[in-house]
Amino acid sequence: MAVLSLVLLLGLPVFLLGVFIWAVLKHFLTAEVPSTMPYPVKLRFLHCLILYVIALGNTLEKLRICSMPRFVRFLQDSMTIIEKDPRVVVTNLRFGTIPVRLFQPKAASSSPRRGVVFYHGGGGMFGSLDSYHSLCNHLARETDSVVLSVGYRKAPDYHYPTIYQDCLNATIHFLKDSRTYGVEPSQVIICGESMGASTVAMVTQTLVGRTDLPQTRAQILIYPAVQLLNLQLPSFRQKRNVPLLTHELYMTFLCDYLSIDYSWKNAIWSGAGIPPENWKKYKKWLSSDNIPNRFKNKDQEPQFPGPFNESAYLETKTRFDVRNSLLMADDEIIRQLPETFLVSCEHDILRDDALLYKKRLEDQGVPVNWYHVEDGFHGCVPLFDKKFFSFPCSQNIVNSVVSYINGI
């Protein structure tokens, strides 16, 4: 027993070191950090760390000790230091089965405040109320708003449409009882980052035309995914290996979110699962022809969609649900959407999703405020106050969101 314990004790550091070396090698063999990005060494280190944690999580999952998403979330929350802000009152609540966190400015107000419902990012796997606590606290304090953060259920136990349903139900509850929380019902903004931003778009489209609820004042979408069909847009090809959201991680999120076997990833990427008649119908919204020329390069675009594969279509057809490909919503729905603040990042695989949604909204007369971050990358926002891991783009995006909310 003593010998076995010694072997384990010595073997564990060797194993951990080996996994870290593998993560570093994988980063330098696959990742592309544009020369125009500031602090490239910091970004490389952060990406290596993410690859390392995910690899450890995958190892634990194969050993049936713990699922990878749970392991990553555990580390996220363990490393999150929640500092008490004397200017904001934080309350943990439950709306039915949905955990939520309420951030209320402590100072008295002579009138009901603005409300912000926030959905965090993380690809449906990562992120939590704790890991986005400081961001929501910052929004509440700097905009003098009541912020509700929604702790929706995630993988590995929950998949589409659970995130959407949890966020929708929590939002409806908040809208109905907004005065209870000191919020003016007509001044509720729905805001989200990454997966959360995609869910914001789903929820606001669903709420269109509801006469039993106050209409939302605005929606804030921070680098959202608004379609899951055309993965050959310029940004998907140009930025596919740019951290933090690489092509490989994006496909992992997509397949897990929709419960699609990972073996179909190449068919999804090439568009082989899109019937020709469907593409003919949706091309006007999903084609790269709608992307401004300055975001394209001179490389010849691949044939899209690829040769049709009916099996791929049947296995991946949940992508055609309008709640997953929000660009395909009827014009009547789009034109009723609230004023929109849309953030896109130049070095983001999802950059062109934001550009397509911007055009779709503007074509239907929806007011759009667009903030494009030339040095931005996907996933930078939660890093805004992480000191060594913070980037200028992180703070700039948060500042732009605060400025937009204060201007309403």
Q: Where are the domains of the chain?
A: 2-66, 87-408
Q: Which of 194, 198, 270, 344 is catalytic?
A: 194
| Average pLDDT score, the chain | 95
Alpha-helical (H) ranges within 214-246 are: 234-238
Sheet holding 218-222, edge to edge: 88-95, 98-105, 145-150, 113-119, 183-193, 218-222, 339-347, 368-377
Q: 3.40.50.1980, 3.90.470.10, 3.40.50.1820, 3.90.226.10: which CATH number matches 87-408? A: 3.40.50.1820
Residue 258 has a pLDDT of 97
pTM for the complete prediction? 0.96
Residue 35 has a pLDDT of 86
Cβ pair 227, 287 in contact under 8 A: no
Residue 3 has a pLDDT of 59
Tokens representing 176 are: 């109905």
**Helix, strand, coil % in the chain, rounded to nearest 5:** 50, 15, 35
Cβ pair 273, 312 in contact under 8 A: yes
Residue 7 has a pLDDT of 59
Q: Per-residue pLDDT tens for 126-181?
A: 999 999 999 999 999 999 999 999 999 999 999 999 999 999 999 999 999 999 99
Low-confidence stretches of the chain (pLDDT beneath 50):
none
Residue 13 has a pLDDT of 85
Q: Which of 130, 166, 348, 352 is catalytic?
A: 348
Active site residue 263: no
Residue 298 has a pLDDT of 75
Identity at 314, one-letter amino acid code:
L
Three-state DSSP at 200 gives helix
Active site residue 378: yes
In the numeric block, the tokens 């055609």 are attached to 320
Active site residue 194: yes
Cβ pair 154, 400 in contact under 8 A: no
Residues 6+ apart with CB under 8 A from 26: 51
Cross-strand partners of 98: 95
Residue 314 CA to residue 298 CA, distance in Å, equals 34
Number of neighbours of residue 407 by Cβ within 10 angstroms = 9
DSSP code of 299?
S
